[in-house]
Structure 1
Amino acid sequence: MRFVIIGAGRVGLRTGRVLQEEGHEVTLVERDAALAERARDQGFDVVGGDGSREEVLERAEIDEADALGALTGDLNTNFAACLIGKHHGCRTILRIDEDYRENIYRKYAEAVDEIVYPERLGAIGAKNALLGGDIRAIADIAQNLQVVELTVTEEAPTRGYTISELQLPADATVLAFGKEGEPLDIPDPDESLEEGDRLVVLADFDVLGDVRQILVGDNSRAAAQAGAGGV
């Protein structure tokens, strides 16, 4: 997948690094010359300029992006960037600070796909918001292991199977299972998988794409190239 991230500060840079390590394409947009240069030194594709201006986002090839993450510390810049991103067909993620009042949240929430509070959620929250969909990173266990939560979709090839009938890769283990709308619990081998059910899986990064294909199916845009990286 391809992402445009507005802001090469701490939040934008860390989120971009996580996505890049997973094999996604990331372009950062930053108007501060020093921050832009620092990001370039770390191997990022950086477009210098104000991310709230359409001509700058066009230079970042916003038309080719799957999602835009407006992750600067400036709410007005973030909101303007999201409006432009939405116009160009992107999924839009807006960063706001936790101290904003509920009415401010409601005002912006209706215009974007998701709002994140990076001070609380960290890069893993921003990354999940950008990806969206039916696979969600929960935690990194080691350099090559991640715990993910997957939601069974209508397109899942194993929908209707029992947990005992699942044939996951050797480097993947089901840790928990929950029917739609119910809490997660220890997996029951005889429980059948239906649309909306959730599984928590421990897997090696290299097999996450295969796990996603088995449990989610092909049509989950969020899980494309689902190999994960450290947060």
Structure 2
Amino acid sequence: MRFVIIGAGRVGLRTARVLRDEGHEVTMVERDEPTRRRARDQGFAVVDGDGSREAVLEEADITAADALGALTGDLNVNFTACMIGNHYECRTVMRIDEAYREGIYRKYADQVDEIIYPERLGAIGAKNALLGGTIRAIADIAPHLQVVELTITDAAPVNGYTISELHLPADATVLAFGKGEAPLEIPTEDLSLEDGDRLVVLADFDVLSDVRQLLVGETAALAAANAGTGSSSAATELLETEPERDSESDSDTGGVN
């Protein structure tokens, strides 16, 4: 595939390297001379200019591109570049660096194909390292939605349940299941949940605390703190109302940078 990357700074250059390593063709657009020179020294074709100008993008051969990544630190440049990309029927990805407020996201989300917030992605990686092995955030796909991978523990209330018996909060959905160290797959209803199994779940931030309590067995206070919420109603209700289960009978997730 062919990509045009606007901005050869930290985010743009790293993205370009990954794409090139996977065999794709990349042209970069950058108006800062030292930054442009650094990208060229790494073997990239770089167009000199402002990525928010159509003539510059045409010089970068936007007409032949499959996708445009507007990855500068300037939101106006990024948005304008994406609008030009839309005109040329490219897939458009726009970086935002301002405070991750829902208003900013909603303002642009309907007009580009994808919005990324690198600082948030970096924070997810740091959070995963700090939390350890039972919970791993994968991505924020909207201001209020996150995809997480959780590992079932002995302390989890649902340990021993089958997928069909698993009842998550209304704003959470199981996307994939992995038995122990096996690859993730689409779950079937008769799969059992046991210590070490992994579930990938899409959840609203408001119910992450509940999900963590059910699948990992965190206490209500710890789950709420780790999820950044104060709610734990669904998990508490399950713990208080669910009958005890017989474990033996149920032994069978281009601009400024």
Interval containing the TM-score (normalised by the shorter chain): 0.5 to 0.7
Partner of 1:133: none
Task: Give the number of aligned pairs.
Answer: 137
Partner of 1:24: 24
Question: Shift of residue 121 of structure 1?
Answer: 2.2
AA partner of residue 76 (structure 1): N
Alpha-carbon distance between aligned partners in 2 of 1:23 and 1:49, rounded to the nearest angstrom? 26
Alpha-carbon distance between aligned partners in 1 of 2:184 and 2:101, rounded to the nearest angstrom? 36
Partner of 1:50: 50
Partner of 1:13, secondary structure, is helix
Partner of 1:84: 84
**Contiguous gaps of at least 5 residues in structure 1:** 129-137, 139-172, 188-231
Match of 1:176 among 176, 179, 184: 184
Normalised TM-score (structure 2): 0.49
**Contiguous gaps of at least 5 residues in structure 2:** 126-138, 140-148, 150-180, 199-257
Question: Shift of residue 110 of structure 1?
Answer: 0.7
Paired residues for 1:1-231 under 5 Å = 1-97=1-97, 99-121=99-121, 175-179=183-187
AA partner of residue 45 (structure 1): A
AA partner of residue 67 (structure 2): A
Partner of 1:198: none
Question: Shift of residue 174 of structure 1?
Answer: 5.9
Q: Is the alpha carbon distance of 1:30 and 1:178 closer, same or farther for their aligned partners in structure 2, counting shifts above 3 Å?
A: same
Alpha-carbon distance between aligned partners in 2 of 1:174 and 1:25, rounded to the nearest angstrom? 34
Partner of 2:18, secondary structure, is helix
Question: Shift of residue 118 of structure 1?
Answer: 1.3
Alpha-carbon distance between aligned partners in 1 of 2:111 and 2:19, rounded to the nearest angstrom? 24
Alpha-carbon distance between aligned partners in 2 of 1:48 and 1:179, rounded to the nearest angstrom? 50
Deviations 1:127-147 (A, max 9, x none): x9xxxxxxxxx9xxxxxxxxx
Alpha-carbon distance between aligned partners in 2 of 1:31 and 1:38, rounded to the nearest angstrom? 12
Q: What is the aligned-residue identity percentage? A: 69
Deviations 1:7-61 (A, max 9, x none): 0000000000000010000001001011001100010010010000000000000
Question: Shift of residue 100 of structure 1?
Answer: 3.7
Deviations 1:62-93 (A, max 9, x none): 01000000000000000000000000010000
Partner of 2:183, secondary structure, is strand
State the Cα RMSD in Å: 2.6
Partner of 2:39, secondary structure, is helix
Alpha-carbon distance between aligned partners in 2 of 1:47 and 1:76, rounded to the nearest angstrom? 19
Normalised TM-score (structure 1): 0.55
Partner of 1:27, secondary structure, is strand
Q: Is the alpha carbon distance of 1:58 and 1:103 closer, same or farther for their aligned partners in structure 2, counting shifts above 3 Å?
A: same
Partner of 2:97, secondary structure, is coil
Moved >3 Å (runs of 4+): none
Partner of 2:224: none
